[in-house]
A = this chain, B = another copy of it.
Amino acid sequence: MWPRLPPRAREEGSRAALIAAGSTIIVVGLILWIILTSEAWPAVQKQFFSWFHFKESFPDVLRGFWLDVKMFIVAEILILSFALVLAMIRSLRGPAFFPLRAIVVTYIDIIRGIPMLLLILLLGFGVPALQLQGVPTSRLFWGVAALVISYSAYTAEVYRAGIESVHESQRMSARSIGLTQVQALRFVIVPQAIRNVIPALLNGFVSLQKDVALVFVLGVREGLREADIYNARTFNYTSYVVAAVLFLLISVPVARFTDWYTERDRRRRQAMST
């Protein structure tokens, strides 16, 4: 076992870096100071950051948030799986797969272009209004379905970015040991692809966490909607801050954990330079 000392050669630009960091902190501090001492701050604070309203709205928002979390978990699992299937189909080579690829490309293009709200309205109000036999009318069901349909299109493109960032020689190499296209994708390309786009996947994770709230247009009372109700009742925006704090309590730890984990994984696999 070898005693490991820290690298000793000084990194270039360390002084510039410190200056940059220092001045950022000073500027942010200054802005905060100007805001907090401004004459109108008490009024703004009262309407956006009131401790009283924070406590008042917290229980309702938290209850609604719990519904968000449940919808989120179901949706995210479906999205990650369905999107991967879409991305894999899109990455198949050869003319035989052209029709399948074309279907997926059309799906992704159209769905991404449709505002999520319209999709939710269309599925959540439109489909049940058709009164078809055996088709669910639950707005939760259709709200989550709309989220899955929409987010899958975006997430599939994130996966595709990952797949295409894996060098062609890896595909060739995988095929050469006799793997089929799908096997090559599954065992060789996709595992590397996912590692390559984890930060972008996490983007989807974080923003879905907030977008599940959109099912509120269907009358579902989730967290952001409770904040809405509170705001409409009291004209105070602090309830939204409550929602933001709840979101942050989940998303920040998840982001930090993922970064830590991928970094560890990378260290285990790769040579590290300075």
Interface residues of A (CB under 8 A from B): 10-14, 17-18, 20-22, 24-25, 34-35, 38-41, 43-44, 47-48, 92-97, 99-100, 103, 108-110, 112-118, 121-122, 125-126, 129-132, 154, 157-158, 160-162, 164-165, 167-169, 171-172, 175, 180-182, 195-200, 202-203, 206-207, 210, 213, 224, 237, 240-241, 243-244, 247-248, 251-252, 255-256, 266, 270-274
Contact = CB atoms under 8 A, between A and B. Distances in A.
B18 A200 contact: no
- Copy number in this complex? 2
A130 B33 CA distance: 13
A118 B160 contact: no
- 6 nearest A-B pairs in the assembled complex, by CB-CB distance: A14-B96, A21-B99, A165-B196, A11-B94, A113-B248, A157-B199
A199 B34 contact: no
B197 A13 contact: no
B17 A132 contact: no
A130 B197 contact: no
A157 B207 CA distance: 13
A243 B130 contact: no
Given A11-B97, A121-B240, A125-B237, 11 more contacts: A14-B96, A21-B100, A24-B100, A24-B103, A112-B207, A113-B247, A114-B248, A115-B240, A115-B247, A118-B240, A161-B196
Interface centre among A13, A41, A196, A199 (most CB of B within 10 A): A199
B13 A273 contact: no
Contact of A196 (B14, B22, B43, B164): B164
